[in-house]
Structure 1
């Protein structure tokens, strides 16, 4: 089940499902050490002698975020029980505290006592072996702990009342289903401690007058020892959870609106998706620099692994979007994170954990019976390219200076040397979809752009020999790409080439990643070779209003489905990018805006975007949210605005170039 809502602060990330149950709780890294791991933190309300868990069929739920804020505001109504609950979830913008604010309204004409039951099923360090949970009477709190992970649970009602009852117990052992079962009679058994595979439950009571609302704040404080969580709990009580919420809302409102942007003719719902996207990207960005792809742990059921890694490819493209949006501090952290990860040969490996350790991989170290480095060259190229774009946006020479010798030169030398001596094309590596090995148009495009970026860095630092060397290599790869990866017979670019016995064999599968030819400045967007390639993408890959990755894509494909594959958010936005870049009038921007509207419809009601959609019922497939989906939308919207302004100026001056969004200024 893709996650419906996400909140975080760069140290904690919390995922919430469509029943408003916490399903993932990452700490102290975003994307590493999931202390819930897809299990359920249940909650429910006891009223008039029955307990209504949030999963009860009688609840009608609406999911949303507060406007321009990384704080949820979801509403649940149970007409039969005459109850309304608004749940506002947030992680404090600075402290490692997750707060759930329940605004409970009595819709009946009688005063009633309502009990809130909250159940917590932690798996500290991602397993349930050797956990302890205990009740601390001096703090009126429960604490789950193991080694250096402590989770303190406490709360407060609007009447300043704390936890009324609690219990702890074992789970998944003999016939013990968990402490949540203890709540179903409306009472908890006050068991003070349990060890092993454990969970807990707590209860808060509120007296609700007719048609009035009462509040319950429930919080989880993450720390590394008792003293740490006790101190934060004492401080929270003094400050009050409502003040913490107010401060957090003010922070995120200021953060997402730091740039004054005129969104031109984009509708309010498209602007809202842009801002929600920025906030979700921030939530997936660890404070130490890793930009994680996604943190929906339900993907574990698909292949026993997750998307909770930093892919250099994803991270570089997300960083590019963040730099466009003006969030340069986040991208600086990303580049600092990448810097020590470079191999001695000058390339980056497949993916990394948020703590900087090497992540899992399916790229083998042997190919055709021979040793072969597991190189996915676009990942190295994109980081170098994005680093130069960062400099272009910031002009911060002090920041990029130490990267020149530590990253730019090793990367540039690797990209320039990792080429076939005869064709001048890059040597074979794995494609951006991480499925095939060969010489790909997308990868080659990124290599051209990255070598050009290396040349610009060399020029910046007065390194004339390397400047000439990188410029020459960039042009050689570009010329080889136009010569060998374009098919005159088909009138479009190939997905990939294979070298066999000195001959080049082209794979003409239509692939959405061929957008790279214009996006990275190899050719202008109105070049006939680009136009024919993009038209083939639209013709062959259109599905359910969006664009599939490539013909006969198998990933999450439904049995019996006859289309090219599932529509992906990023691939659909690449077509929007083409419309934006080639537009010469405001009218020609309309197809891009229509794609933005399709993307908004693909999001859930809160504005969360998945990786891909079911082509029949438009349900989200694979993971949600996907950071790359949101950052691609952010980047496309900003390019749309830039092009809109450029066209306005062009209409006034009647001169200049239309194609400058990703233009490469070629130099000898």
Structure 2
């Protein structure tokens, strides 16, 4: 399921799996319209009558990225074929162009002919119906098209361009696809096919003993034949090798634009920090949507995916990126949210990258009672994140423009959506989207959202609203201490449920999101009530296996791997483990007290994929990634925790 290699530019996103298949190609939005859809577009090699696809056993594959870059550094070697390949993949930093450069080395002592085959299994606009694949003899390229999406592939060696080609029918009427045609080393040359189609092209290299030669391959995506033809010509004129080098330089400059002292953090922790910044960028659409994840294999579990913009995830990711110095990167997110805001001032469950409303499982009516199908924290956290954005970038004009369109209507909703008897937010769904009630996490986010609105009102001289928002936030703080803190337990509850018969049911489940009490400013980190709550989190949610880490909450069932709840309260999550580190950092009073959270950062590094990709959660016994990877929230939380650590080091010094 994981996607260890991800390259993109905010318009085009391409994912590869661990066997080097291209599994996802999103365009023109990151996360919307997957023109590969989890099928296997792959690379094969023919040498001296023997053929092998790179996904087969026999290849030793090492997957990674170039130093501080979104250009891959992949090594593949096959001892029996006597070949090694060094592969660099990247997406142009501006245009929808995918570039690939392969260094092919002959490991034997004899001269040999090597042929490389590229298979393309597209389902344009997410369906195989009505696609066309065609060889273009004028451009000497192959392209696929349907309606307003064209994908043109081309390449060249030092001697020539495409050597052979074939297009044909796939997965229909016993036809497997042109990838099968490639396995004898010769393509049939069929020039056109329609319907459910694929294509394969090949290139030829003549290698002396121990010689290495290179092949450049590229893919241009656009909304018309003229668009992809123009991009193809641009690659030819600019030289594909130089273009790929420029892509690497761009991302190196981008990830290092903020000069930062990383104190005593190990190099591996710093490297993952930079990799995380780059990977988060690939998941941000240029129009503002911040996508949760784009690993399409999750489809097989519930016929839906993570390629949505959850306002909560987006807000927390935007916070991290703003603090890291990338306010310009996430500024469109807030305009996206302003446009998406309901006329009553709240945001819905999730959104598609084009701004339309995403799928949901939150009903409007339960047991005859009409309700809002929302997670209120998603609205509140956007206001909190906007204030963090302002603090980091001081973009007064942007925030002034959003004050009447986002801040005021959202704050008005937060003030009105209050349970009168308790002065807490009315019931809504929790951040894990599993239960409906009044939760400590949601209440903390509403407190933070109203505080952010109050600060904006004060900033813009709106004294009347400042007082209203600030007093509303303080009432929620007082109500949280009265109703959500249990003095007998000596810690905060996960939440309470208001039953139809008038009863109030307390939820005593220990929950990792209780870190929000200090993280969102309800109480300081060293408050005894916070300390007792977080100690309960550490004690009750620790995964007592060699893998370690912390679970979301007691009895977590999502992708459950163990029934031994005493040792494994749930699978360890990257973000939940980092939330524990955040508290340890916040309460530290000496540099020595930072050793434990520093170890937790190294724990995250040790459970990243070889390429640096972080998953959502881990198998508690093997440490293997579970659910999607990369998860944008995991990478952003890691960035945020590193920054908190560095701030604390500077403070203590």
TM-score, L = length of structure 2: 0.98
CA distance 1:26–1:561, shift in 2 (3 Å): farther
- In structure 2, the partner of 1:659 is none
- In structure 2, the partner of 1:190 is 189
- In structure 2, the partner of 1:241 is 240
1:502 and 1:411 map into 2 onto residues whose CA distance is 29
**CA positional deviation for 1:561:** 4.9
**CA positional deviation for 1:505:** 2.1
> Which stretch of the first structure deviates more once superposed, 456-465 or 497-506?
497-506
Superposition pairs for residues 90-239 of structure 1, below 5 Å?
90-157=90-157, 159-239=158-238
1:502 and 1:415 map into 2 onto residues whose CA distance is 24
| 2:170–2:196 Cα contact (<8 Å) kept | yes
2:462 and 2:282 map into 1 onto residues whose CA distance is 39
1:600 equivalent in alignment to 2:600: no
Of 643, 648, 651, the residue aligned with 1:646 is 651
- In structure 1, the partner of 2:577 is 572
Of 556, 560, 581, the residue aligned with 1:557 is 560
**CA positional deviation for 1:160:** 4.0
**CA positional deviation for 1:171:** 0.7
2:40 and 2:451 map into 1 onto residues whose CA distance is 50
1:324 equivalent in alignment to 2:323: yes
**CA positional deviation for 1:259:** 0.4
| 2:118–2:201 Cα contact (<8 Å) kept | yes
CA shift digits 1:212-255 (9 cap, x unpaired): 21111111100111111111111211111001011111110100
1:408 and 1:438 map into 2 onto residues whose CA distance is 25
1:165 and 1:498 map into 2 onto residues whose CA distance is 67
- In structure 1, the partner of 2:384 is 385
2:550 and 2:461 map into 1 onto residues whose CA distance is 44
2:411 and 2:313 map into 1 onto residues whose CA distance is 20
2:489 and 2:447 map into 1 onto residues whose CA distance is 23
2:268 and 2:67 map into 1 onto residues whose CA distance is 11
**CA positional deviation for 1:524:** 1.1
1:419 and 1:139 map into 2 onto residues whose CA distance is 64
**CA positional deviation for 1:72:** 0.4
- In structure 1, the partner of 2:635 is 630
**CA positional deviation for 1:210:** 1.7
| 2:561–2:620 Cα contact (<8 Å) kept | no
**CA positional deviation for 1:422:** 1.5
| 2:562–2:570 Cα contact (<8 Å) kept | no
1:502 and 1:527 map into 2 onto residues whose CA distance is 33
1:396 and 1:560 map into 2 onto residues whose CA distance is 50
CA shift digits 1:8-28 (9 cap, x unpaired): 000000000111110000000
Q: Which runs of 5+ in 1 are unaligned?
A: 649-668
2:47 and 2:184 map into 1 onto residues whose CA distance is 11
2:56 and 2:405 map into 1 onto residues whose CA distance is 56
- In structure 1, the partner of 2:12 is 12
**CA positional deviation for 1:396:** 1.8
CA shift digits 1:480-528 (9 cap, x unpaired): 0011001112111111111234443210101100100110011111111
SS in 2 for 1:603: coil
- In structure 1, the partner of 2:304 is 305
**CA positional deviation for 1:332:** 1.0
2:78 and 2:42 map into 1 onto residues whose CA distance is 17
TM-score, L = length of structure 1: 0.96
1:367 and 1:141 map into 2 onto residues whose CA distance is 57
| 2:114–2:207 Cα contact (<8 Å) kept | yes
Superposition pairs for residues 25-64 of structure 1, below 5 Å?
25-64=25-64
- In structure 2, the partner of 1:655 is none
1:359 equivalent in alignment to 2:358: yes
1:185 and 1:239 map into 2 onto residues whose CA distance is 34
1:442 and 1:270 map into 2 onto residues whose CA distance is 29
Superposition pairs for residues 220-619 of structure 1, below 5 Å?
220-500=219-499, 501-543=501-543, 544-558=547-561, 560-562=563-565, 563-619=568-624
- In structure 2, the partner of 1:663 is none
- In structure 2, the partner of 1:656 is none
1:173 and 1:395 map into 2 onto residues whose CA distance is 57
2:270 and 2:491 map into 1 onto residues whose CA distance is 35
SS in 1 for 2:422: coil
1:426 and 1:407 map into 2 onto residues whose CA distance is 19
Q: Which runs of 5+ in 2 are unaligned?
A: none
| 2:111–2:207 Cα contact (<8 Å) kept | yes
**CA positional deviation for 1:378:** 0.3
**CA positional deviation for 1:417:** 1.1
| 2:375–2:430 Cα contact (<8 Å) kept | yes
**CA positional deviation for 1:438:** 0.2
> Which stretch of the first structure deviates more once superposed, 363-372 or 607-616?
363-372
CA shift digits 1:362-413 (9 cap, x unpaired): 1111122122110210000000111111111122211111111111111111
CA shift digits 1:164-215 (9 cap, x unpaired): 0000000111211111000011100000000000000011000112222111
2:421 and 2:503 map into 1 onto residues whose CA distance is 11
1:413 and 1:160 map into 2 onto residues whose CA distance is 67
Equivalenced residue count is 647
| 2:451–2:470 Cα contact (<8 Å) kept | yes
1:12 and 1:320 map into 2 onto residues whose CA distance is 24
